[in-house]
Amino acid sequence: MGKHIHVNVGLPNEDEKQAEAAKTVRLRALRLAKGEATDQEKASREVARTALKSRGSRISHPTPQAS
């Protein structure tokens, strides 16, 4: 028969809890910043697309300047 392996796992102490909480906060902030950057990039593209559409295909005629 195979040997049984027994691992003792204790409850996390206060330092481990704080370290895990800090890690969670950092990851959440990173995820939020990434999402905001993506949203901002999409908004910028949409604004640029709208600006190009509103300008349309106008022909610009140079105006004569008086000298």
| Domain around 43 | 15-52
pLDDT score at 49: 85
Residue 47 has pLDDT above 90, yes or no: no
Q: How many domains does the chain have?
A: 1
| Average pLDDT of the residues of the chain | 82
Residue 1 falls inside a structural domain = no
Least confidently predicted of 9-13, 29-33, 49-53: 49-53
Residue 25 has pLDDT above 80, yes or no: yes
Residue 26 falls inside a structural domain = yes
pLDDT score at 58: 56
Residue 41 falls inside a structural domain = yes
With tokens 């990039």, the residue in question is: 41
